[in-house]
Structure 1
Amino acid sequence: MSFGFVAFHYPAPGHAEELAGRCRQVIDAARTRPGLLRAEIWGAPGGDAVVITGALEPEDACRASADAVRELGAVPDGFSDRQVKPRQAQRFLSR
């Protein structure tokens, strides 16, 4: 079974590239552990959203990647002035 994630980030004006860079750090950290099948960063044409998607397999890989990202500190808790609203993230299971 594969596990996926989608995280929507809402950068303040002028911060889309910075936020995309943080998303790249998340992907790089996740790649330090086995099991990341794919990950991509998407940006809205107007720069008002940055989306990161990914798929991992098996479940242990999903947890290990999340641990690596937390260790890096690439996904800070809370909300900052570089965002217009908090990120929204969701995990998924393949069907």
Structure 2
Amino acid sequence: MKACLVAFHYPHASHREEFIERVQRVAEIFRRTPGCLSADCWVTGDAVVSTVQMESAEALDSALAAVMATAGADIVFDDRETRPREIHRLAAP
């Protein structure tokens, strides 16, 4: 069953471009993990939205672990963001 992760990030305006670059780097790491169907960066209003679609929930869990272990994958919430991220994990019916 396919699995998806959608995260809404809210960077300060002064960090918006830098944040988009961060999300794009992480998406590239996701794309290289086994089972990745897509990983993208989107923008809307004040949010930068990241999406990852994987072949299964297990593939998503493995990919998250790989991304967190990768040097240069800056995925930790910090003071460059105006509020906490909204992260939604979805599963195909």
Asked whether the equivalents of residues 3 and 58 of structure 1 are also in contact (C-alpha less than 8 Å), the reply is yes
Q: CA deviation at 1:35?
A: 0.8
Task: Output the amino acid matched with 1:51.
Answer: V
Q: Which has the higher strand share?
A: 1
TM-score by length of 2: 0.86
Question: Any idea what SS the aligned residue of 1:84 has?
Answer: coil
Identity between Structure 1 and Structure 2 (%): 35
Task: Output the amino acid matched with 2:75.
Answer: V
Task: Output the amino acid matched with 1:79.
Answer: D
Instruction: Tell me the number of residue pairs that the alignment of Structure 1 and Structure 2 aligns.
Output: 91
Show structure 1 runs of 4+ deviating over 3 A.
Answer: none
TM-score by length of 1: 0.85
Correspondence for 1:52 among 29, 50, 53: 50
Instruction: Describe the superposition over 1:48-83 as per-residue Cα deviations: whole angstroms up to 9, x where unpaired.
Output: 21001121012321111101111124211x431x11
CA RMSD of aligned residues (A): 1.4
**In 2, Cα distance between the equivalents of 1:34 and 1:68?**
10
Task: Output the amino acid matched with 2:66.
Answer: A
Unaligned runs of 5+ residues in structure 2 are: none
